[in-house]
Chain A
Amino acid sequence: MSQMLSMTDVTVCYDNVEAVRNVSLAVDEGQIVTVIGPNGAGKTTLLMAAIGLLASRGSMVFRGSDIRKMSVEDRVERRLCLVPEKRELFSDMSVADNLLLGSYSLRDRSGVQKTLDEVYDRFPRLRERQRQAAGTLSGGERQMLALGRALMAKPALLMLDEPSLGLAPLIVREIFRTIASLRDLGVSILLVEQNARAALETADYGYVLETGEIVQSGPAKDLIHDPRLITAYLGGH
């Protein structure tokens, strides 16, 4: 199994404060890797650095290329995609236009219509609302649109920042089912979540990030039974 993303000793600073310190993690091809941790641990910062929206120190290799100094757009063209916590949808534009713009980075445009149909098949609600402005969608539909838009870029590695944030439990389950099904498409996933139980149930491997540092890591099925994590993040039972 080849390595998709490898971060070694990555440090990210806001002004002079280190929000992420010497973090090393790896995502293998076809794997779902999750980073769990409390609010303010630096999870979002780590993803922002991975996509290039924040500068970082250390080494960052994606599919064999050093990407640390690359622009966001160059990383996206190499099929590294991020669905950010705030979704960052084009609220005034239609669902269909949002999805179409997801494919902007693809040079070969011949398969765009097919990918669009696949996204609509995966999220039938988006097909129903394709002419509606993204800003008028419900929270769950927005998350579906954000996921669908990212899938339009045919990502090799999809990074998801808190996909369950602010959603009703029923929709959270649907979102996690979708994330698990993406693995079957060959998409590798780096999932950052506060909902640790759902994340570890879906992932193959997990990292625990606390105050900017990785304090624990291991196969997800082991972490979910770890007594310390059960007390701290998994509801204590």
Chain B
Amino acid sequence: MTSDIAAILAIDGIATGAVYALVAIGTVLIFTVTRVIFIPFGDIAAFTALTLAALDAKRFPGTGALVVALACLATLIEIISLIRNGEVRLLPRALLFYLAIPLAVVGIAWLAMRMDPPLAVRLVLALMLITPIAPLLDRIVFRPIADGTVLLLLTVSVALHFALVGLGLLFFGPEGVRTEPLTSFSTEFAGVLISGQTMLIVIAALVFSGLLYLFFDFTLVGKSLRATAVNRTGSRLMGIRPARAGTIAYLLGSLMAGVSGILIAPVNTVFYDSGFLIGLKAFVGAIVGGMTSYPGAAIGAVGVGILESFASFQSSALKDVIVFSLLIPILIWRSLASLHSEEEIEE
């Protein structure tokens, strides 16, 4: 391998890793706030790509029907739960959040579609359509078992991923898509050609990570999410509702996954079931950060991207094997490290 090839592979790996990093950060966010390892984040990223492709082709995406179906189901479950708990006074709020807002989002997207919107608007529409999915799934699937063990939540999360893959086939069909590049710009750096799309991926990952950092450090809502992650009982005693914190975490996480889906769509052909590998590789990155550290997850995810890039050059058939084999030493290292931190917590 010459240094030129190594540079190209490294740049390619950083770009892929940046996409994984966005999903990994979302995974850590959801896990720390809700204790759910949300495997379907990769599916959310893939669905965003499929949604954008449909919008590009001037077709109304299957995401609309999916959101409507989930909104109706979530509303029904919320109404039953409110009646059971004698909290009928909260019905209007439930109808607003679980039915009216998701339906309004679909309605706006449908109306905007008829006006043949430019690319920037289509990107916003794709993100708008995708963000309600995870919070609605949270209400339908995870809220009723919120007090369950992490293992139960993980098992359900895996099952939910398979259910979503099925729904993906139903709503988007079996065809793969590749969207038009977001930019045709390219430049040469130290003799290596860098595409605008690659630069865009890295910049977007940095910008969204930066925005998330500002949100966590400078807003009360951001701090309340951190508080829920650090100490659930303590945060409840401050009046912070874990369910609401969870919804905000799912919304933000979906946005991150959605952005990664948009970034990956022009460089990879995305199918309804492409999300699993994206989610799983982001998960490996998140594990590097111990599932709790955002910078750790981002660095881990970029590491996964670079390793995948070099592995695919050496042996394309074995690239996934190499990436997932990375889990073994990481898990051994993390298990040794976490033993140490548990001792510290005990004081």
Contact = CB atoms under 8 A, between A and B. Distances in A.
Contacts, number: 63
A101 B86 contact: no
A51 B239 CA distance: 11
Interface string A139-166: 0000000000100010000000000000
A100 interface: yes
Interface string B306-337: 00000000000000000000000000000000
A91 B235 CA distance: 12
A42 interface: no
Contact of A93 (B223, B236, B239, B241): B223
A76 B226 contact: no
A51 B233 CA distance: 11
Interface string A31-64: 0000000000000000000010100000000000
B120 interface: no
B230 A93 contact: yes
Given A100-B220, A100-B223, A101-B224, A90 B231 contact: yes
A208 interface: no
Interface residues on A, range: 20 to 34
Main secondary structure of the interface of B (DSSP, over half): helix
Interface in A93-130: 93, 97, 100-102, 104-105
Given A89-B234, A90-B230, A105 B86 contact: no
Given A88-B231, A90-B231, A104 B237 contact: no
B220 A104 contact: yes
Counting chain B residues whose Cβ lies within 8 A of the other chain, the interface size class is 10 to 19
Contact of A97 (B223, B233, B234, B239): B223
Interface stretch (A15-23, A77-85, A170-178, A213-221): A77-85
Nearest to B228: A90
Given A69-B86, A104-B240, A153-B239, A88 B234 contact: yes
A106 B172 CA distance: 45
A90 B239 CA distance: 14
A73 interface: yes
B238 interface: yes
B24 interface: no
A183 B73 CA distance: 50
A-B interface, 10 closest residue pairs, ranked by CB to CB distance from nearest: A105-B239, A88-B234, A76-B239, A90-B230, A104-B238, A72-B236, A73-B239, A90-B227, A73-B241, A101-B238
Given A88-B231, A88-B237, A101-B240, 18 more contacts: A51-B237, A71-B241, A72-B237, A72-B239, A76-B236, A84-B233, A84-B237, A88-B233, A90-B227, A90-B234, A97-B223, A100-B220, A101-B220, A101-B223, A101-B224, A101-B238, A104-B239, A149-B238
Interface of B: 86, 220, 223-224, 226-227, 230-231, 233-241
